[in-house]
Amino acid sequence: MNKMQSDSTDQYDDIIDLPHHVSPTRPRMAMIDRAAQFAPFAALTGYDSAIAESARLTDRFYELSDSDKSQLDAIIVLLQQRVNEHPALLVEFFKPDKRKAGGAYITLSASLKAIDTVNRTISLTDGTVIPFDTIARIQLL
């Protein structure tokens, strides 16, 4: 043992063999609580959620071909003629992400409520309003 270590242990010779103190009035702390007081604190609040957000994947919006657009237009014309029947539809459309570039393609099954040709939207009975330009596919059920 070197001189430095010897001096530091000699300081505590008078208390090193004393029994561990146990409080007669306070209960012993659980090991999990004791460990928690030494756990690192979150110095970078929100860092984990920022990393999760940047790792979250989004889809790209794919522009329909001219032939797909004309098929979709034909289906919308057909739906305008049957709007009072409230036909059941399966609609796939692109919903832009509010936080980052891209979005997600969503498929809904609902009944047609209305078609607004001025604003170019389709309204479904579940309250969803879908712009024509975001629709990828419509199928009558």
The reply to whether 71 and 119 lie within a common domain is yes
The reply to whether 31 and 95 lie within a common domain is no
The reply to whether 39 and 94 lie within a common domain is no
Helix, strand, coil abundance in the chain, percent, nearest 5: 30, 25, 40
The b/e string for 101-126 (b: 16+ C-beta within 10 A; e otherwise) is eebeeeeeebebeebeeeeebbbbee
What band does 51 get if pLDDT is binned at 50, 70 and 90?
confident
The alpha helices in the chain, defined as continuous H runs, are 3-10, 31-36, 47-55, 66-81
The reply to whether 75 and 43 lie within a common domain is no
The reply to whether 45 and 96 lie within a common domain is no
Measured CA to CA, the distance from residue 126 to residue 110 in angstroms comes to 7
pTM summary value: 0.63
Range 129-135 average pLDDT: 95
Domain assignment of residue 61, yes or no: no
